[in-house]
Chain A
Amino acid sequence: MTVWDPIADIAAKVRQGELKAVDLVEKSLASITKAEEYKAIIATTAERARKRAQQVDAGDNQGRLAGVPFIAKDNFLVFGAETTAASNILKGFDAPYQSTVINRLEAEGAICVAKANLDAFAHGASTENSDFFTTLNSHDKTRVPGGSSGGSATSVALELAPFALGTDTGGSTRQPASFTGVVGYKPTYGLMSRSGIVAMGSSLDTVGTFARTVEDAELVIDVMAGTDELDSTTIERDPAGYITDPTDLKGKRIGLIREYMGEGLADNVREQIEQAVAKLREAGAEIIDVSLPSLPLALAVYYILCPAEVSSNLSRYDGQRYGFSCSDAKDLSESYTRTREIGFGKEAKRRIMIGTYVLSSGYYDAYYKKAQTVRTKLINEAAEAFKQVDFLVGPVTPTVAFKIGENASNPLAMYLADVMTVAVNLIGVPGISIPCGVSGGLPVGLQLIAPQRADRELLAIAVAAERVLT
């Protein structure tokens, strides 16, 4: 039961006049209304979307994504609705400029119809840290959709739009993709501009793409990828682009990550991953056991470096220029403390405190600097591994989607949901989660990882893997 055609087909039909963008937008908006109980959406950009659809139908922006509706995580600055990052402190903030990637999608005719829910400021793995509400898993309403891009993942799982944007700082795209049974892509760090995206951990943040198929994701990625003069950390796109040629698994050397298959991996997930890996082997891939000895340290490193950057990046939310501001403060100091006390949720405060601590004089060397050293070690180990194999494979998450509230009172247990995804961000390489099976009605994703800048190769192998897995 597919509500939407493949993205390329939708756009082609719009360009040929067989489909009208206004109808596509209405269809998307209607499905959003119908699926309200899942709470995937914070706000729609209906008015602006309708206007843009009319323009597309009138002949403007009839590009490669002509008339294709999409949903953006609410940490992307987009016109037509507030940009809140699901935080109270940004309530009422209307973006005066748009994210570069949003501009690029719009230039090809795509139409943003809504802003999706997330853990506030992308801090979390379940959307339970949203200051507004928790999104429900489309496969089981008592479970979380994963996070932080849980709203975006659920939007695609429910087919509210053909694709959605998320961000991935420590797994925030791959993990919810795995929990909801959709494709979630995390590019090489720098391949897509961070300009106009509410920053979380600037050295880790990437733009995530959610789609129903890898092929759909390729088109969206191809439109967004490449250098941006507004983001100095962006890199050149692959001259061949990201729409891949058919390839097969024969002769591909794929390393199964030993550290991810050991203790802590739930049996039902292990079973699905082993079956999936067996299918890849059957299809001709050479599966090699690979070890990155420092991987068990990745989570600790991540939870030092990321909060450090978070504590810095969240400094600007001080109530002095935009967003929420405590109006009854009696002096400047109280304005700062009250605004941030009321405006930030628990998890944001927790990360600000961790980050502030590890950056404090006297602790910097023991935490931040040491974590950077281990990060470099991880990068080197990955480089070594990629001398042996073309790709790495493993689970995305140690468990299937957990129950709402199950980890809510235990931040450490919640952090463990990222244990298999954070290393990819620390190393800066691309990774993808593709659905590989279902256990007890809940989806399980398979994670494929490639060397830095090998995004095109990763997408190509993912298309081939997707074919043998489904």
Chain B
Amino acid sequence: MVREEIRKEYTVTIGIECHVQFKTKTKLFSGADNDAREAAPNTLVNHIDFGLPGALPVLNKEAVRLACRAAFALGSEPQKFSKFDRKHYFYPDLPMGYQITQYDEPIVLGGSVEIEVDGQKKTIGITRAHMEADAGKSTHPNGADYSLVDLNRAGTPLLEIVSEPDMRSSTEAKAYAKELYLRMKYADVSYANLYYGNMRFDVNVSVSKTGQLGTRTETKNLNSFRSIEKAVEYEVARQIEVLEKGGSIVQETRGWDDGGQKTFSQRTKEDAHDYRYMPDPDLPPIVLEQSYIDEIKANMPPMPDDYRRILVGIGIDAKTASDIIAVPETAMTVTRVYEASSAELAKRVAFWMLQPQSDDEIADLAANVQVPDKYLVALAQMVQDNKLSSTGAKEVFAYMMRTGGEPSALAEEMNLLQVSDEGEIAKIVEQVLAENEKAASDVRGGEMKAIGFLVGQVMKLSKGKANPSLATDLIKKQLGL
């Protein structure tokens, strides 16, 4: 391992290329279904995806619309003129022998996103983003003398987002990747499920202590935030170690070994392809009208930053705000509740929605919100009005999210409504004081800590339904305080 003081002498430069799969119904250039997540291999393939003779690509208009939305989400705007090019190489998962991509006139040029690391804000530049068709998937079974190709993914619309080399640490790289993930989710252009490869990252890393850019390596196909962080850390350490030993860095493509938590060499610059780019004569250029662009812009949803501002503005702490923003549906729901009621009620709803343990569970919960916002508001209001304890409300919330239904009816059905009937609670208090003479006399003797215990007993006997502040008052009253 490289010692910290040596490491500090080096400047790290990181740029990231991110491939985002669009959630279109059909592929970029064919009518085949685009949802390959659960499909059997090679079932979502038509004559275009298969590269049959005479098959011609036909551009999916929805993909263009999503690319335009992505442009705005990246702090940019779509180019009025862009075109498709062919990038040639041979591989069995590339049926036509070329990938259709955008080479020198992409749909997005320029842009930026903001990240925050350790409370410090930083702007990361976006160089460009272009549309392209994904290749199929090759698998090489261990020890087999054959490989398998699945063309379901061949032709899936991708947006490749290329960043400026603006990142200086693995933490920044990870923060940038997360920010892209959120923006693509908020812009609603991708399922952005990293597990299914909806977003894949290539990280370019170089180190230098001379002030001039060092030779970079590109580690390809990272599909988790953690692997991005780890791959950058590994590359930085590896490159510094090579340089410190007097060696030099080879410009190359590297892979990530998740098991070994290290990068490995795949291909050096010498055997890099000459892709022989040329304009694709089968596809007319994309020419966008200003009115089309304006309409998309007008319909852009708020981005994560916008939500962060709102959430922090209503008094939610930065950490909780980040947790809420991590799941777009949660941020949207909380914001809507806030707009329909108050900061106080919105915070309660946020608290309930963050109860599940993982982002996935939260997302799952949020995605299944069938209940109208007014029910969420009503539930929060019930707590505010002491009609329901916060523990009871959590139960009602969970039940309501599963089944729907109006919260006061559910609370009643679940027998959780707080009892604010003085007579009824007085009877319970009487019983509690009788059964807990020691505590009662402690309180009477001025030891007010013990009153909490007594209230707890009242709550227990009332099965959580007693209004705790009323119970406290009645205890004091019966003890003559």
Known: A97-B47, A336-B90, A356-B276. A202 touches B53 (CB 8 A): no
* Cβ contacts under 8 Å, B176 to chain A: none
| Binary contact track B265-295/A, C-beta < 8 Å → 1, others 0 | 0000000001011100111100000000000
* Cβ contacts under 8 Å, B367 to chain A: none
A99 on the B face (CB < 8 A): yes
Q: Size range of the interface on B?
A: 20 to 34
Closest chain-A Cβ to B104's Cβ sits at a distance in Å of: 11
What separation, in Å, do the CA atoms of A96 and B46 have in the docked complex?
10
Nearest neighbor of A231 in chain B, beta-carbon distance: B56
B398 on the A face (CB < 8 A): no
Q: Is the Cβ of A90 less than 8 Å from the Cβ of B53? A: yes
What separation, in Å, do the CA atoms of A39 and B282 have in the docked complex?
33
Instruction: State which of A247-255, A314-322, A404-412 sits at the interface with chain B.
Output: A314-322
Q: Is the Cβ of B88 less than 8 Å from the Cβ of A198? A: no
* Cβ contacts under 8 Å, A364 to chain B: 276-278
B242 on the A face (CB < 8 A): no
* Cβ contacts under 8 Å, B54 to chain A: 77, 99, 194-199
Q: Is the Cβ of B284 less than 8 Å from the Cβ of A232? A: yes
A229 on the B face (CB < 8 A): yes
Known: A202-B281, A202-B282. A312 touches B86 (CB 8 A): yes
* Cβ contacts under 8 Å, B278 to chain A: 308-309, 312, 359, 364, 368
Which listed residue, B59, B95, B281, B283, touches A316 by the CB 8 Å rule? B95
**Contact residues of A between 169 and 207, Cβ < 8 Å to B:** 194-199, 201-203
Q: Is the Cβ of A195 less than 8 Å from the Cβ of B55? A: yes
What separation, in Å, do the CA atoms of A85 and B50 have in the docked complex?
19
* Cβ contacts under 8 Å, A366 to chain B: none
Which listed residue, B98, B283, B284, touches A312 by the CB 8 Å rule? B98
A361 on the B face (CB < 8 A): yes
B57 on the A face (CB < 8 A): yes
What separation, in Å, do the CA atoms of A320 and B54 have in the docked complex?
17
**Contact residues of B between 80 and 109, Cβ < 8 Å to A:** 86, 88, 90, 92, 95-98
* Cβ contacts under 8 Å, B53 to chain A: 77, 83, 85, 90, 93, 95, 198-199, 316
* Cβ contacts under 8 Å, A360 to chain B: 274, 276
* Cβ contacts under 8 Å, B214 to chain A: none
B110 on the A face (CB < 8 A): no
B117 on the A face (CB < 8 A): no
Q: Is the Cβ of A194 less than 8 Å from the Cβ of B276? A: no
Q: Is the Cβ of A332 less than 8 Å from the Cβ of B92? A: yes
Nearest neighbor of A368 in chain B, beta-carbon distance: B278
**Contact residues of B between 24 and 69, Cβ < 8 Å to A:** 47, 50-59
Q: Is the Cβ of A232 less than 8 Å from the Cβ of B47? A: no
**Contact residues of A between 355 and 397, Cβ < 8 Å to B:** 356, 359-361, 364, 368
Known: A203-B281, A322-B52. A232 touches B58 (CB 8 A): yes
A413 on the B face (CB < 8 A): no
A230 on the B face (CB < 8 A): yes
* Cβ contacts under 8 Å, B95 to chain A: 316, 320-321
**Contact residues of A between 295 and 325, Cβ < 8 Å to B:** 308-309, 311-312, 314-316, 318, 320-322
What separation, in Å, do the CA atoms of A314 and B88 have in the docked complex?
11
Q: Is the Cβ of A195 less than 8 Å from the Cβ of B56? A: yes
What separation, in Å, do the CA atoms of A77 and B54 have in the docked complex?
8
Nearest neighbor of B48 in chain A, beta-carbon distance: A230
Closest chain-A Cβ to B285's Cβ sits at a distance in Å of: 11
| Binary contact track A257-292/B, C-beta < 8 Å → 1, others 0 | 000000000000000000000000000000000000
What separation, in Å, do the CA atoms of A348 and B230 have in the docked complex?
49
A233 on the B face (CB < 8 A): yes
Interface size on A, residues (CB 8 A): 42
* Cβ contacts under 8 Å, A93 to chain B: 53
Closest chain-B Cβ to A206's Cβ sits at a distance in Å of: 13
Nearest neighbor of A202 in chain B, beta-carbon distance: B281
Which listed residue, A95, A318, A361, touches B274 by the CB 8 Å rule? A361
What separation, in Å, do the CA atoms of A308 and B456 have in the docked complex?
84
What separation, in Å, do the CA atoms of A93 and B53 have in the docked complex?
10
**Contact residues of B between 227 and 285, Cβ < 8 Å to A:** 274, 276-278, 281-284
What separation, in Å, do the CA atoms of A198 and B147 have in the docked complex?
28
Q: Is the Cβ of B56 less than 8 Å from the Cβ of A316? A: no
Known: A198-B54, A232-B57, A360-B274. A315 touches B98 (CB 8 A): yes
Closest chain-B Cβ to A331's Cβ sits at a distance in Å of: 10
What separation, in Å, do the CA atoms of A203 and B92 have in the docked complex?
26
Closest chain-A Cβ to B188's Cβ sits at a distance in Å of: 27
* Cβ contacts under 8 Å, A231 to chain B: 56, 58, 282
What separation, in Å, do the CA atoms of A386 and B277 have in the docked complex?
34
Nearest neighbor of B97 in chain A, beta-carbon distance: A315
What separation, in Å, do the CA atoms of A97 and B283 have in the docked complex?
21
Known: A203-B281, A316-B51. A232 touches B96 (CB 8 A): no
What separation, in Å, do the CA atoms of A361 and B88 have in the docked complex?
12
Q: Chain A CB within 10 Å — which of B56, B97, B147 has the most?
A: B56
* Cβ contacts under 8 Å, B92 to chain A: 318, 320, 332
Nearest neighbor of A333 in chain B, beta-carbon distance: B90
* Cβ contacts under 8 Å, A202 to chain B: 281-282
Q: Which residue numbers of B lie inside 8 Å of A, CB to CB?
A: 47, 50-59, 86, 88, 90, 92, 95-98, 147, 149, 274, 276-278, 281-284
Beyond the given A316-B97, A359-B88, A360-B276, please list 10 additional residue pairs across the A-B interface where CB-CB is below 8 A.
Answer: A77-B53, A95-B52, A195-B55, A230-B58, A232-B59, A312-B86, A320-B149, A332-B92, A359-B278, A364-B277
A sample of 27 inter-chain contacts (CB < 8 A) reads A83-B53, A90-B53, A195-B54, A196-B54, A199-B53, A202-B281, A203-B281, A231-B282, A232-B56, A232-B57, A232-B59, A232-B282, A232-B283, A232-B284, A233-B282, A233-B284, A312-B86, A312-B88, A312-B276, A312-B278, A315-B88, A315-B96, A316-B96, A321-B95, A332-B147, A336-B90, A356-B276
